Structure 1
Amino acid sequence: MPEPLTRAERRAASAARILDAAQVEFGEHGARATIRGIARRAGVDPSLVLQHYGSKDELFALAVRPVSELAEDEVPEHLRDVLDARLQDLPASTRALIRSMLTSPEAAAVMRDYLQERVDVLAGTSTRDDAELRAAIVVSSILGLTIARHFVGLEVLDRRAADVPDLVEPWLAALLAEPTDTR
């Protein structure tokens, strides 16, 4: 027979259920998601949502915050993984962030910070004078493909999602390649 959960364990489990529910609600409804809807999905009282997270804005910022997954030495192979992931089903937190970034200043700030982090990491792996610009183009291109596939519903990207990384990978690699010595 399992041991009963302590109060702290029950509290942590409730907080995790609320955050999971918030990710789904924000993913489906963007900034229009409600505390009541999140609470209903989590199976808790709405006051508990506020008790754990303070406000809808604070919960939103946590729910849509992307997880940092890229180390500097993993850039080349990771770009393909990121592209593959962005063309498949999106996690609820990513869907919420992208859906809300044009209408919510908080979501826009989270997305801007996330994209800037990606640009900085990619640019940091290069000695090119224009490394930051090149990295920004790569990051923006992946975002554009994600939006076209999941939010605009560009049919060819739905139909041929598996083929996109093979087509885009050489272009991304060329964009990020170090300059060759022309002496």
Structure 2
Amino acid sequence: MTETRTRAERRAATADRILRAAQEEFGERGMEGATIRGIARRAGVDPSLVLQHYGSKQALFSLAVRPDPALAESDVPRHLAEVLSIRLRELPPETRVLLRSMLTSPEAGAVMRDYLQERVADLARASDRDDAEVRATVLVSSILGLTLARHFLHLPALQDLDDATIDTLVQPWFATMADPSAR
């Protein structure tokens, strides 16, 4: 049986394919090194379609660096533990492009700052401690540092982390910092 999709569904699928390709291209090459042609090649489309869907390389970059909105959850400590676990294993394309670009693109830097501040505020609200904001900032900043050290600086000890080490070393540290009752 042949699946028939509407024109709007095909258009949305193409736009999504282009966005994913852009995240990969920006993640590998940064804003300056990525090209519309390279993005189009990855997406399997003509370069004119990239511009038709997104208008410009800058507009596409702005969308590509946005963190996944599904990351905001009500159980903030559990969510951040999951984020840490993911960051120590593999990076989603949108995270890779944002991290690669945050120090060279003011727009990406602002997106990262806003995203991290939102995570800090969410985590701090989950605690009744007087130092909740500082603890949340240290925790969120540490996750960022671990992510950069593993995926961009390739520190050897972090490259060899296995699930057992993450579970026995990193997760308890995280739990101590995130637990609102930890004194």
State whether TM-score is above 0.5.
yes
Q: 1:180 to 1:60 in 2, by over 3 A?
A: closer
State the shift of 1:45 in Å.
1.9
| 1:13 shift after superposition | 1.7
The CA distance in 1 between the partners of 2:101 and 2:118, in whole Å, is 19
CA distance in 1, matches of 2:96, 2:66: 11
Relative to structure 1, the CA distance from residue 3 to residue 116 in structure 2 (aligned partners, 3 Å threshold; closer, same or farther) is same
Q: CA deviation at 1:15?
A: 0.6
| Equivalent residue in structure 2 for 1:173, among 168, 172, 175 | 175
Scaled by the length of structure 2, the TM-score of the pair is 0.89
Structure 1 segments, 4+ long, off by >6 Å, are none
> Against the structure 1 CA distance between its residues 24 and 179, is the aligned structure 2 distance closer, same or farther, given a 3 Å change threshold?
closer
Give runs of aligned pairs for residues 74-153 of structure 1, distance below 5 A. Answer: 74-153=75-154
Q: How far apart are 1:169 and its partner, in Å?
A: 2.8
Unaligned runs of 5+ in 2: none
Match of 1:16 in 2: 16
- Secondary structure of 2:5 counterpart: coil
Q: 1:5 to 1:133 in 2, by over 3 A?
A: same
What do residues 35-70 of structure 1 show as CA deviations (whole Å, max 9, x unaligned)?
111112112222211111122122112112111324
CA distance in 1, matches of 2:26, 2:162: 25
Matches within 5 A, 1:36-47: 36-47=37-48
**Counterpart in the other structure of 1:25:** 25
RMSD: 1.9
CA distance in 2, matches of 1:28, 1:10: 27
Rounded Cα–Cα distance in structure 1 between residues aligned with 2:170 and 2:132:
19
User: Equivalents in 2 of 1:134, 1:116: separation in Å?
Assistant: 13
Please, what TM-score do these two structures have when normalized by structure 1?
0.89
Stretches of structure 1 lacking an aligned partner (at least 5 in a row) = none
Superposed CA deviations along residues 71-103 of structure 1, whole A, max 9, x for unmatched, are 23x233333322110011211111111111111
Q: For residue 97 of structure 1, what is the amino acid of its counterpart?
A: L
CA distance in 1, matches of 2:182, 2:173: 16
CA 1:175–1:10 in 2, change beyond 3 Å: closer, same or farther?
Answer: closer
Which residue is 2:60 aligned to? Answer: 59
CA contact (8 A) 1:87 1:161 kept: no
| 2: CA distance, partners of 1:160 / 1:76 | 22
Taking the aligned partners of 2:104 and 2:162, their CA distance within structure 1 comes to 28
SS in 2 for 1:152: coil
CA contact under 8 A between 2:126 and 2:180: conserved in structure 1? Answer: no
SS in 2 for 1:160: coil
- Supply the distance in 2 between the matched residues of 1:70 and 1:9 (Cα, whole angstroms): 27
- The alignment covers a number of residue pairs equal to 180
- Separation in 2 of the partners of 1:178 and 1:16? 39
